[in-house]
Amino acid sequence: MAEQRRQEQIAETIRNQAGKFFSTEQPTGTLVTVTDVSMSSDLHYAEIYLSIIPIEKKEFVMGKARESLPGLRRQIGNNLKLRRVPEIRLEYDNRAEALERVEKVLNEEVKTKELSHSRLKSILNKLAWWRR
């Protein structure tokens, strides 16, 4: 229980520090948001999930974000009380795109007025937007 609490605290600190970092390091004309941080149980690895607007620039922005990892890791290390700063992996958070797909499918179903409870459940299972 205490280990999980510590893991959550470190993830929250990393999320806050990464958010501050990307608010100053994002390319012009883009918005980079840290949506989630996942820590390994041994606290040696952190996955940081980024949402990027506009979506069309996600490859460019992810490349720039990966280039800036040493600076991000340094900033995190300066604000964490750990012997070892976690290795960081950046991931694109595609939940916004998945939600758009869900909305599109639901709108089509509502237009045809065939949206029963079982049909909605089937659509959500097919889309599986909540899974990464």
Residue 115 has pLDDT above 90, yes or no: no
DSSP letter string over 19-77? Answer: HHHHHHHSPTT-EEEEEEEEE-TTSSEEEEEEEEESGGGHHHHHHHHHHTHHHHHHHHH
Q: Based on the fold, state whether residues 111 and 51 are members of the same structural domain.
A: no
Q: Higher model confidence: residue 90 or residue 116?
A: 90
The set of residues, in sequence order, having a beta carbon less than 8 Å from that of 28 and lying 6+ positions away, is none
Q: Based on the fold, state whether residues 47 and 107 are members of the same structural domain.
A: no
Q: Based on the fold, state whether residues 70 and 104 are members of the same structural domain.
A: no
Secondary structure element (H or E) that encloses residue 125, with its range? helix 117-127
Q: Based on the fold, state whether residues 21 and 84 are members of the same structural domain.
A: yes
Averaged pLDDT score across all residues of the chain: 84
Radius of gyration of the chain (CA): 18
Q: Which of 59, 55, 87, 68 is nearest to 26 (CA)?
A: 68
Per-residue confidence (pLDDT) for residue 117, from 0 to 100: 65
What is the domain extent for residue 107? 97-127
The answer to the question of residue 132 being in a domain is no
CB atoms within 10 A of CB 52: 23
pLDDT, tens only, 55-103: 888 899 999 999 999 999 999 999 888 889 999 999 998 887 777 777 7
Per-residue confidence (pLDDT) for residue 132, from 0 to 100: 45
Q: Based on the fold, state whether residues 77 and 102 are members of the same structural domain.
A: no
Q: What is the pTM of this model?
A: 0.74
Domain count, the chain: 2
